Structure 1
């Protein structure tokens, strides 16, 4: 999640645990503690793919953060200014503020390595967008009320409860979308294909559905208010140029472990550009990387990975996205971009 949301969650938890003992300081300290795991954003790992895939790893491990919570607890138990607070209370404060950060991140699409150093795939439950005002606002308002009136009231607990209920709703909403999509996949003979369901920006009412069918990428937008019989996919080509070189290179293997099969590789002016299809929308993906170059003989060779240029999303489509909540014809996946890859069997009716 974004830093503001993480700070709000940490501040609310800090106030809930130590508000009676530390007052407003508990909120401020909790907000700072909750943002500590994201300090890994300032660490360079040697190349663009490594920076991308090692983010949310060491500093987002529940094992590492639990150990760090223990260290901070011992320090607070010994300092004259803080040792009046029971050691057990300090532990719960630090543990909750730190560990809830990666757990909340795991509800997004990016991928969080909760069990590092165990080499398990990144956890990504994909039930909430990285920025969602309806999740953040209850905690933000509660914190502001507590800072103004003091931490003795129930505002923080109410804010935490409302945000938690909304997070629970996001899980239920995804289950509803999956229940709607599954019969349509069976009807199309796609039930055994990799499927990704995730919320669209700033809401949990319209969801993006992505299906990988070999060299095709099928995309649909599904609203919780859609009729179960109106699911329509836009179909795009999914090129995988220089696949053998890609899967043999170190950066390709790392990126494949992180994102495959939701990726594609294309040639752009003699370079091999690999795009993570999970992050963004068709044509407006957030992350792409140059992993190879073609020599004069036409052979591909891996290079030190670097970030490739990506297309910024058209903010004018936000209004159409919110119209899509109740109007299936308001927006189609190809309206975001990738029209050059759109296949003739696209099913979604495009406005205009």
Structure 2
């Protein structure tokens, strides 16, 4: 999730755990702890693909954060808060830290909660990385806690309750979409194929679905406000890797994305794209991984990340109308030169 949401969550957790001891300093400390795990973004792992797949790694691991919280609590008690019970400091610091990766795990990006064990990143995909419906009910009580200090802990607890209920709702919405997709592909060749679904930007009402199908994939949008349960699928070229075996970086990327990648030749470049993030023909994570010589021979190259460019101005109002159930405008969200509508 975004830094504002993480800071608000950390502050709310700290305020609720502190109880009568809650002060503005405690809230600020919780906000700092809530954003601390994301400092790993400052690390350079040598190439853009490694930077992507290793983000939310060790700094988001429960096996790192919990021992770190215990050590930090002991130091905090000795130096800063000598009158605090140690258990309360451990709870405040530990919960402020681990709620960060737990919240991240609700997004599509993936969070390595169990690093260093070889377990796939946890990515529930029920939340977009920025969602005002989650952040505002959490942020407003936290800001109010700075003013009404006598009620600070209760305000923080109220914000946590509302935001947590929204997380529960996102899981309910995800389940509803899974049922709808299963009904749509039942009896077709897409039944049983790998499916990815995630909410579109800033909401949990309009969902994007991607289904892998060999050298192509099918993409569709579905809103909880649709009157017609049928999904208008758009088949797109997925391509394939031109070498006999994938290099380690591609193996890492496919593991990270659970296979939801595409391969496209752009001039003399082979572009590998993470299909989970973005929509239709707009994807923020695309990498050049190979180049083709004049005689048509492919050769691996040092990965470089492509600039996705600006979002088309028509996209935002079209997304809003689509969220409200306007199923006829699906084509507005897709470049007609790159994809078309069809039945699976």
Structure 2 match to 1:244: 244
Match of 2:155 in 1: 155
Q: Which deviates further from its counterpart, 127-136 or 233-242?
A: 233-242
Q: Which residue of 2 aligns with 1:78?
A: 78
Q: Is the 8 A contact 1:170 1:204 kept in 2?
A: yes
Unaligned runs of 5+ in 2: none
SS at match of 2:323: coil
Structure 2 partner of 1:342: 339
Judge conservation of contact 1:276–1:285 (CA < 8 Å) in 2.
yes
Q: 1:13·1:93 contact (CA, 8 Å) conserved in 2?
A: yes
Whole-Å Cα distance in 2 between the matches of residues 123 and 166 of structure 1?
19
Deviation per CA, 1:194-236: give whole Å up to 9, x if none.
1011100001011111111112211111111223543221111
Cα pair distance change 1:151/1:116, threshold 3 Å: farther
Q: Which residue is 1:279 aligned to?
A: 277
**Cα deviation code 1:74-97 (max 9, x no counterpart):** 101211x31211100000011101
**Matched residue SS, 1:323:** helix
Structure 2 residue aligned with 1:100: 99
Aligned residue pairs total 343
What is the deviation of 1:315? Answer: 4.4
Structure 2 counterpart of 1:16: 16
Cα contact 1:320–1:330 (8 A) shared by 2: no
SS of the aligned residue for 1:285 comes to coil
| TM-score (normalised: structure 2) | 0.95
SS in 1 for 2:120: coil
* TM-fit CA distance, 1:171: 0.3
Alpha-carbon shift at residue 297 of structure 1 (Å): 3.6
Structure 1, unaligned runs of 5 or more: 348-352
Aligned structure 1 segments of 4 or more residues deviating by more than 6 angstroms: none
Note if contact 2:281-2:334 (Cα within 8 Å) is conserved in structure 1. yes
CA distance in 1, matches of 2:319, 2:47: 35
Q: 1:309, 1:346 → 2: CA distance?
A: 32
Deviations, residues 26-67 of structure 1 (Å, cap 9, x unaligned): 111000011010001010001111111100011010110111
> 1:60: which partner in 2?
60
Distance in structure 2 (CA, Å) of the matches to 1:209 and 1:99: 29
* Aligned 1:82-161 pairs, distance under 5 A: 82-150=81-149, 152-153=151-152, 154-161=154-161
- Determine if contact 1:3/1:35 at 8 Å carries over to the other structure: yes
Q: TM-score, normalised by structure 1?
A: 0.93
